[in-house]
């Protein structure tokens, strides 16, 4: 099949149309299965990232509950991060800058979790103990 026309924007997706040649369809043994009686060619519309979605679907097929598990474990903190930042998209451009921006959000999220779990007093006591041992070599876990 060959590309027919320019890609079109539909629902914020870039769709490319493909069309077969009439000679190919007339000689095809499966013609009755994919064409109507009076049709001479076949047209297919395809999203530009559909191959990526299909690969993802194939990877997830052996693990039907994996996406539900992800939703339960990962989506909540990510949603909290986005809500706190009041963001719908990243403020920076470029992958490296977006990674930095997201890393800062993750650090603040983790720090808030530590404060909520341990409490401010326990964290303060820990910091005091660390400063008293500053002359000693400290190994991180």
Domain boundaries, the chain: 2-60, 75-132
**Could you report the per-residue pLDDT of 78-88, keeping only the tens digit for each?**
777 777 777 66
- Whether the model pTM is above 0.85: no
pLDDT value, residue 58: 92
Rounded CA separation 55/16 (Å): 19
**Could you report the per-residue pLDDT of 48-69, keeping only the tens digit for each?**
889 999 999 999 899 888 888 8
In DSSP notation, 88-127 reads SS-SS-SHHHHHHHHHHHHHHHHHHHHHHHH-HHHHHHHH
């Amino acid at each position: 099949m060959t590309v027919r026309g320019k890609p079109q924007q539909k629902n914020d997706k870039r769709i490319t149309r493909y069309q077969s040649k009439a000679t190919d369809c007339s000689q095809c043994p499966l013609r009755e299965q994919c064409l109507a009686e009076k049709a001479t060619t076949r047209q297919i519309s395809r999203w530009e990232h559909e191959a990526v979605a299909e690969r993802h679907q194939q990877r997830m097929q052996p693990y039907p509950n994996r996406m539900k598990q992800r939703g339960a474990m990962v989506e909540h903190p990510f949603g909290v991060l986005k809500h706190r930042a009041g963001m719908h998209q990243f403020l920076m451009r470029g992958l490296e800058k977006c990674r930095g921006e997201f890393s800062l959000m993750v650090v603040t999220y983790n720090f808030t979790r530590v404060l909520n779990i341990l409490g401010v007093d326990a964290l303060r006591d820990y910091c005091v103990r660390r400063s008293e041992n500053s002359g000693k070599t400290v190994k991180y876990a």
